[in-house]
Structure 1
Amino acid sequence: MSQLIEDTILVLLSQVRDGESISPNDVAKTIDRENWQRELPKIRAVIIGLARQEKLQVLRKGKPIEPEGFKGVYRVRLPVAE
Structure 2
Amino acid sequence: MTDDMKKETAPKDPTPLDPVAIMILDQLAALPDDKSAAPDDIARAYAEARRKPSDGRDLYKRYRRAVKEQAIHLARVGRIEILRRGEPVDPDDFKGVWRMRLKK
The answer to whether the superposition gives a TM-score over 0.5 is: yes
**Any gaps of 5 or more consecutive residues in structure 2?**
1-16, 49-56
The answer to whether structure 1 residue 31 and structure 2 residue 39 are counterparts is no
Whether the 8 Å contact between 1:13 and 1:21 is mirrored in structure 2 is: yes
Correspondence for 1:59:
83
Q: Distance in 1 between matches of 2:26 and 2:73?
A: 17
Q: Give the 3-state SS of the residue equivalent to 2:18 in structure 1.
A: helix
1:38 Cα deviation (Å)? 1.7
Q: State the identity as a percent.
A: 32
Correspondence for 1:40:
64
Q: Distance in 1 between matches of 2:97 and 2:60?
A: 16
Q: Structure 1, residues 5-57: CA drift from partner, whole Å, max 9, x if none?
A: 11111111111111311111111101114311121111101000000000000
How much is the aligned-residue C-alpha RMSD, in angstroms?
1.3
Larger relative CO (CA 8 A, sep 6+): 1 or 2? 1
Q: Give the 3-state SS of the residue equivalent to 1:32 in structure 2.
A: helix
**Any gaps of 5 or more consecutive residues in structure 1?**
none
Larger Cα Rg: Structure 1 or Structure 2?
A: 2
TM-score, reference length from structure 2: 0.71
1:69 Cα deviation (Å)? 2.4
